[in-house]
Amino acid sequence: MSIELENIEDVEAWSSSVILSPNRWHNVRVESAEETRSTKADVPQVEIRFSNQEGDIREWLTVTREAMGRVRSFLDAVELPYKNGDAFPTEAIHDRKLSIFVGQRQIEDGYGGFKMRSEVKAFAPLSANKVDPTKPDESGFGPQGNSTTGEDIPF
């Protein structure tokens, strides 16, 4: 028996990376942006990958009338001008810097249970100073992922 590797040359290999820690703000840059269509509602969306030295996270920004407030929040955060009728500036957002708040939500795990998924909850311009490098986040770790007390290290 053999299993055919259908369309394997047409896909990108999965990579393992660290997802930005939840329940805190992160200063990030737009690593990549690609226009796609949502699989559930078949509406336009932009898949955006944010990254910094701690890790990365992807966001699917749906570009619909109902989600235009979120789109506007993102464009304000990357400090790009916009007006009615403009096309989404997919190429112009590459390498832009901003702050994002990563939160979590509970989703079904496909096995009758639930799991937590990290997702981008909010956008802000870097000038908003959302990240305070002198304060640890709620986990006791500082913005660079370093323990601030050392008490949680098991050795």
Which pLDDT score is estimated for 152?
42
pLDDT beyond 70 at 45: yes
CATH architecture of 20-128: Beta Barrel (2.40)
Residue 92 CB partners (closer than 8 Å, separation 6+): 80
Q: What is the mean pLDDT of residues 124-136?
A: 80
Q: Which of 10, 87, 20 is nearest to 54 (CA)?
A: 20
| For residues 18-28, average pLDDT | 93
Least trusted range by pLDDT, from 24-38, 101-115, 122-136: 122-136
Which among 61, 69, 68 is positioned nearest to 44, based on CA atoms? 61
Residue with tokens 């304000």: 76
Confidence of residue 15 (pLDDT cuts 50, 70, 90): low
For the ranges 6-10, 17-21, 125-129, 138-142, the lowest mean pLDDT is seen at 138-142
